[in-house]
């Protein structure tokens, strides 16, 4: 099944396929002055593929993707060696060189092969459009890790003064997804690295963000990595650390997963992902309660905003 286009889609942002301009069909019995010359047909060269020297292409300063797998690049280079570059790179003219808009993996693989020239399509695009295109291309192909994705959103917000709603619309995501991604950038650098490398999941990171200080966040992340805690165990750890920091005495009992009904656990997970914090449901015979945890005033305000509740 084809993957749905993201946001406006690369085709729309890159300009789409150039329309084929055909001369108008002449009438059956044309009547025109003998001296009249035929009207020229203006071709749209926007999609014209050019071959340019690989050495004249530079990487994009707005490329959100920073990590490129060496093994994946070698595999792509092998494919290019056999089949050639099927999809041209998208570039823009910058003084005496060309800057990549889309296709950095193909560019890097071409460097491995030491190709002299590569096929490109030259576009006219400002910095914001370039960042949007790079984000969308990578998001469509699921190439970005969570920290790279968050950094891309952050650049759109800070460099181009866009609101989170505007960013969400441009990249085809919900505002909640964008907001939760941006929160990851509040983590200490060492914790962000663990998320970038995949050693900590986004679920772990969201729970750790509930702690008020970088020191506590690092402590929690270190223990999660050392003991291999899952997200629910991490919630218990964060609650204990937060209570300890607040001077509340808690049991030093070993952290263990909570036993609960499968359906209740599924609902808890959905609420936890939606709110980005610990959620515990108690349910029996159609009755129960939902407990939502927060660990600071700022955390409470964020949760209330997500729930659409305005604090007086």
CB-based contacts of 180: which residues, under 8 Å, 6+ apart?
A: 202, 206, 276
Polymer length of the chain: 312
Find out whether 185 and 212 touch, Cβ atoms under 8 Å. no
Whole-angstrom Cα distance, residue 123 to residue 113? Answer: 25
Whole-angstrom Cα distance, residue 246 to residue 240? Answer: 10
Structure tokens that stand for 205 in this block: 């990171």
Count of Cβ atoms closer than 10 Å to residue 120 Cβ: 25
Distances (CA, A) of 121 to 46, 47, 59, 182: 8, 6, 15, 33
Whole-angstrom Cα distance, residue 105 to residue 146? Answer: 19
Sequential DSSP letters for 132-159 = HHHHHHHHHTT---HHHHHHHHHHHHHH
Q: Which residues are catalytic?
A: 104
* Radius of gyration (C-alpha) of the chain in whole angstroms: 27
Structure tokens that stand for 228 in this block: 């291999």
Count of Cβ atoms closer than 10 Å to residue 134 Cβ: 25
CA proximity to 101, closest of 6, 174, 15: 15
Question: Tokens 């693989």, residue?
Answer: 109
């Amino acid at each position: 099944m084809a993957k749905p286009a993201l946001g406006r889609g690369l085709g729309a942002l890159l300009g789409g396929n150039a329309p084929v301009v055909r001369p108008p069909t002449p009438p059956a019995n044309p009547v025109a002055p003998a001296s009249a010359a035929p009207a020229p047909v203006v071709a749209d060269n926007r999609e014209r593929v050019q071959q340019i020297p690989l050495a004249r292409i530079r990487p994009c300063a707005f490329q959100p993707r920073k990590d490129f797998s060496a093994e994946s690049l070698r595999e792509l280079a092998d494919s290019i060696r056999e089949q050639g570059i099927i999809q041209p790179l998208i570039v823009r003219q910058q003084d005496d060189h060309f800057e990549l808009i889309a296709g950095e993996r193909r560019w890097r693989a071409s460097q491995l092969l030491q190709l002299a020239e590569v096929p490109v399509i030259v576009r006219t695009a400002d910095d914001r459009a370039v960042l949007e295109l790079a984000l969308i291309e990578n998001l469509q192909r699921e190439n970005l890790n969570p920290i790279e994705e968050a950094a891309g959103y952050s650049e759109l917000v800070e460099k181009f003064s866009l609101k989170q709603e505007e960013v969400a619309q441009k990249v085809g995501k919900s505002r909640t997804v964008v907001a939760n991604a941006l929160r990851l950038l509040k983590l200490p650098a060492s914790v962000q690295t663990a998320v970038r490398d995949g050693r900590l999941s986004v679920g772990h990171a969201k729970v750790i963000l509930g702690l008020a200080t970088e020191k506590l966040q690092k402590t929690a992340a270190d223990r999660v990595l050392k003991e291999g805690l899952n997200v629910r165990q991490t919630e218990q750890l964060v609650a204990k650390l937060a209570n300890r920091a607040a001077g509340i005495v808690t049991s030093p009992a070993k952290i263990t997963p909570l036993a609960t009904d499968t359906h209740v656990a599924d609902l808890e997970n959905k609420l936890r992902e939606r709110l980005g914090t610990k959620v515990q449901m108690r349910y029996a015979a159609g009755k129960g309660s939902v407990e939502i945890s927060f660990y600071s005033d700022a955390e409470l305000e964020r949760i209330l905003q997500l729930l659409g509740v305005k604090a007086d």
